[in-house]
Amino acid sequence: MIYRKIEYLRIQKNFTKEGLAKAIGKSRQWYYDIFKVKNINVEDLMALSKVFEVSICYFFENEDNVVNEPRNPYILTDIDITTETILELRNQLKQKDEQIQFLQHLIEEKL
């Protein structure tokens, strides 16, 4: 589901595969690798959500809850989000939140 949404948004926003990869500071090979291996990290999803101007939650929403997303017949790959994946993503987000709070504290001390 995540990968189909990435491809859908890429096409809707008129990005080439290479152009999208470059927009988030990655190589064209990165784009092919995430579809081949079916593995993408939270940082890359956050960068994609900014480029696409969507919430990161968009990538995890059930397709029944996604409004006006036509199915693309050219995309044959799909994955199911497992509980393990969700727990790992939550853990990664928690770590990022802790890093942000620490940095905010450092900034406040400097002011």
24: DSSP letter: T
DSSP letter assigned to residue 61? S
Which whole-number Å values give the CA distances from 109 to 35, 69, 77, 100, 106, in the listed order?
Answer: 43, 46, 48, 14, 5
End-to-end CA, the chain: 44
Q: Domain limits of the chain? A: 2-80, 81-111
pLDDT, position 80: 54
CA–CA separation, 92 and 82 (whole Å): 15
- Rounded to an integer, the average pLDDT of 35-56 is 86
Q: Count CB-CB contacts under 10 A for residue 72.
A: 13
Q: Which residue has the higher pLDDT, 60 or 46?
A: 46
DSSP 8-state code for residue 80 = P
Select from 3.10.520.10, 3.30.2130.30, 1.10.287.610, 1.10.260.40 the CATH code of 2-80: 1.10.260.40
Say yes or no to pLDDT of 68 above 60.
Answer: no
